[in-house]
Structure 1
Amino acid sequence: MPEPLAPALDRLRPLLLDTEGLVRAVASGRRRREHPDPVRAELRPVELRAGRQLQITGTDGRIPVTRNHSPQEAGAAVDELLAQPFGNWHVETRDQVVQLRVTKRGEAQVHTSAQSVEGGEAAHDRARNHLIDPADRLFTVLGADGAKRRQVDAFLRQLAPIARRVKPEGRPLRVVDLGCGNAYLTMAAHRYLAAEVDADVQTLGVDIRPEMAERNARVASEAGLEGIAFRAASIEEAAVDPEFTGVDIVLALHACDTATDDALALAVRWQARGVLAAPCCHNDVQRQLQSAESIPFAGLTRHAILRERFADVLTDTIRADLLRLLGYRVEVVEFIDSKHTPRNALIRAVHTGSAPTPRRVREYTDLVASWQVDPALAARLAPEVDAVLAAGAPE
């Protein structure tokens, strides 16, 4: 039965502040004609050097911001969230789940059910062979749930064999993540590589937003990570920065549209031996297909949804072919189930230095000519691509 909203929210407050009993809470959605700020918030208790605190991660829909609150500060932070016009609250404690939904009339519809955390996700995690222990302090600081930990584990299983293969002798393994965003994969990769592959790993996360670089540096410090740093810079700025030398592995995870091409081109210019890129959006090729006057099998691009999906396949095929021509052994794999993210293709490449064969050159040139596309990656690497096409062209 609906009930007045204010007392229903008041009953949530002690549950949210009980860091011994709280498991997780999420505030989301919005009430009619109102807009909460942040648009979504997640609360969970964390164990830090300063003691047990309440971690609140809020997002505006684009950038997550995580803050840890001491017991003295938590009350005011929780009150601010309860005052926001969220449409839904989901609160899990060790013995109950409380779900509060705000109705169109502005009343509260509350449902409470009993639960036990024993035998839940945490117990399941302990039984699995994780590359990073789910109890690792890194996940606590990041506020990573089971889904995010599974993404980390899947990504590390793709990274680990490449890291072992390209590990240099006599100097640290150098990893650069271009467009690192909130950097949870960057930090997880650094944690794993430092522990399992090379005790001396230097990782640099690059993101164009200064606030993300500052946030990531703070989180890395709270997690006790050493040898990792973050810079606020564009990929173009990184390309001319003399600090970026001797890079062994380049990561580019969900860099949008041609930003993936920028990252791949930079990896080639740096002569990085290992590359892992998970592309996101393929608007450039999609626009070219839409404007092309005469292309084969036009039905593949006639409908918008099919054109979008085909552009994804064509773009990543071209990227893989170009890397092969430039001396990389390339695989395109699915690194995580699509239920976690639809952008789950991963371009995985290791530099071998092999010269292109005439057949590979012909495959590439026929592909781009048939579909009348001008690949962004080829434009970024025009001198290198022109040279290998000329050297490998059939006589």
Structure 2
Amino acid sequence: MAELQPTLARLRAEILDDEHLVRALATGRRRGQEPPRSTRVELRYVDLKAGRHLQVVSYDETQAHTSNHAGPEAIGAVLDDLLGQAWGNWHVDTDERTHQLRVTKKGEALLHTTERAETVAPERAHDHAKQRLLPEDHPVLRALGISDAQGRVKPSRQAKYRQVEELVRALDAAVAEGHRAGTLRTPTPEDPLRVVDLGCGNAYLTFAAHAWLARTMPVRLTGVDVKEQSRRHNSEVASTLGVSDQVDFVKAGIDDVDLPQPPDVVLALHACDTATDDALARAVRWGADLVLAAPCCHHDVSAQLRQQPTPPGYDMLTRDGILRERLADTLTDALRASLLRLEGYRVEVAEFVDSAHTPRNTLLRAVRVRGGARPASTEYDDLVATWHLRPALAERLGRASAG
């Protein structure tokens, strides 16, 4: 343990060194203090026509905001402002070493410094393209077959790369929000952040999530799938990457998986039809603080729409098959979001990637709210009764259906 202010002063000196800084990252929040104004901030030096600038990229829940600063006074003022905010974690990379700072509940500094095996050259180019969380030559992308041996994303895997990248970006923002709001606990080496990926398949998201989260916090991921072949393959990949002590895989169904401790975060990527409802219900029963689900097909509600009479005045929405399918998608995810809110979660439904990369691009992001009154079920009950529906998630949560 060390005093916080001298430790921050040491990191300040490292960040001000424009010849050696590779990148600095601030995330999370300190418990009991005013949260930072952004969910995450990244800093690096870029060379512009007007000279070298400190580039600051601040992220909120929806987008990134970039600003460039030149001169010792301007850079010092910006850096002092950022260091003065109640960030819970700082990660500072230089060309020779890496510093990881975590602020404890008591406001003390835990600083871990490691020397690089090889010196790296800072990247100073001003790139207007969207910054990637996982660069194309990342070892995880190579191990998963998304990138080739030269570290380039394979043409046939561009869509998968974009999906994984945007899901990790959404996860990163959600975790930062959870820490900022005090909903998600601060992990420690003794009790790392526990993440489970239900229906993990080939574990693209599992490995990518670990690669990103493990940079700034202790984390333990478990991938769950019913196929033994997936468990064996994914375990071999974990061994190849040297992360078997942090990423493991089990063969089990969503309902019968047995974990040593309930997870903090539950992921479910493209679980087919009502398997998404299984994953959401399991997350609720575990009391997970954060849930991210990208639903796949919606056959269950679509079949119910074909079997039940259409409410008066809505015949045009169900007359044509393609419109009925789209309506089923909307109804299914609207009801899922409503049920999660009734279970005490703050829920957002968003598009996480362009439909050109995958038609199943809806993301349900749910953060558990501690305390406070839960919403009334009136709107949910009315919607279910109007369309004569029996939502699968409601049945799994033991809620009586009005349909």
Instruction: Identify the residue that residue 228 of structure 1 maps to in structure 2.
Output: 247
Does the aligned pair in 2 maintain the 1:368–1:374 contact within 8 Å? Answer: yes
1:195-234 paired onto structure 2 within 5 Å: 195-196=215-216, 198=217, 200-226=218-244, 227-234=246-253
Q: For residue 133 of structure 1, report the CA deviation from its aligned partner.
A: 2.5
Q: Secondary structure, in 3 states, of the residue corresponding to 1:236?
A: coil
Residue 362, structure 1, aligned to residue 378, structure 2? yes
Amino acid of the residue matched to residue 307 of structure 1?
A: R
Q: Secondary structure, in 3 states, of the residue corresponding to 2:215?
A: helix
* In 1: Cα distance, 2:247 partner to 2:134 partner: 17
Q: For residue 169 of structure 1, report the CA deviation from its aligned partner.
A: 4.6
Q: 1:140 aligns with which of 139, 142, 163?
A: 142
Instruction: Identify the residue that residue 193 of structure 1 maps to in structure 2.
Output: 213
* In 2: Cα distance, 1:152 partner to 1:281 partner: 19
Q: For residue 246 of structure 1, report the CA deviation from its aligned partner.
A: 2.7
Q: For residue 295 of structure 1, report the CA deviation from its aligned partner.
A: 2.1
Instruction: Identify the residue that residue 157 of structure 1 maps to in structure 2.
Output: 169
Does the aligned pair in 2 maintain the 1:126–1:134 contact within 8 Å? Answer: no
- C-alpha change, 1:368 and 1:244, in structure 2 (3 Å) is farther
TM-score by length of 1: 0.62
* In 2: Cα distance, 1:232 partner to 1:274 partner: 23
Does the aligned pair in 2 maintain the 1:325–1:355 contact within 8 Å? Answer: no
Q: 2:256 aligns with which of 213, 237, 261?
A: 237
Does the aligned pair in 2 maintain the 1:131–1:153 contact within 8 Å? Answer: yes
Tell me how many residue pairs correspond in the alignment. Answer: 256
Instruction: Identify the residue that residue 194 of structure 2 maps to in structure 1.
Output: 174
Amino acid of the residue matched to residue 173 of structure 1?
A: L
Superposed structure 1 runs of 4+ greater than 6 Å apart: 123-127
TM-score by length of 2: 0.60
* In 2: Cα distance, 1:135 partner to 1:343 partner: 27
* In 2: Cα distance, 1:135 partner to 1:125 partner: 17
Amino acid of the residue matched to residue 247 of structure 2?
A: I
Amino acid of the residue matched to residue 137 of structure 1?
A: P
- C-alpha change, 1:124 and 1:319, in structure 2 (3 Å) is farther
Superposed CA offset, 1:326-345 (max 9, x none): 11000000001100100000
Q: Kindly report the root-mean-square deviation, in angstroms, between the aligned alpha carbons of the 2 structures.
A: 2.1
- C-alpha change, 1:273 and 1:138, in structure 2 (3 Å) is same
Instruction: Identify the residue that residue 268 of structure 1 maps to in structure 2.
Output: 284
Q: Secondary structure, in 3 states, of the residue corresponding to 2:303?
A: helix
Q: Secondary structure, in 3 states, of the residue corresponding to 1:250?
A: strand
Amino acid of the residue matched to residue 309 of structure 1?
A: R
* In 1: Cα distance, 2:342 partner to 2:138 partner: 41
Q: For residue 293 of structure 1, report the CA deviation from its aligned partner.
A: 2.5
* In 2: Cα distance, 1:287 partner to 1:330 partner: 26
Instruction: Identify the residue that residue 204 of structure 2 maps to in structure 1.
Output: 184
Higher helix share: 1
* In 1: Cα distance, 2:129 partner to 2:239 partner: 29
- C-alpha change, 1:261 and 1:230, in structure 2 (3 Å) is same
Superposed CA offset, 1:174-229 (max 9, x none): 00000001111110001101113x1x211000000000110011112212324000
User: Percent identity, aligned pairs only?
Assistant: 52
Residue 342, structure 1, aligned to residue 356, structure 2? no
- C-alpha change, 1:220 and 1:300, in structure 2 (3 Å) is same
Q: Which segments of 5 or more consecutive residues in structure 1 lack a partner in the other structure?
A: 1-122, 390-395
Q: For residue 132 of structure 1, report the CA deviation from its aligned partner.
A: 1.8
Q: For residue 299 of structure 1, report the CA deviation from its aligned partner.
A: 2.1
Instruction: Identify the residue that residue 307 of structure 1 maps to in structure 2.
Output: 324
* In 2: Cα distance, 1:125 partner to 1:180 partner: 33
Superposed CA offset, 1:214-259 (max 9, x none): 0011112212324000111111211xx2x25231000010000000
Amino acid of the residue matched to residue 357 of structure 1?
A: P
Amino acid of the residue matched to residue 323 of structure 2?
A: L
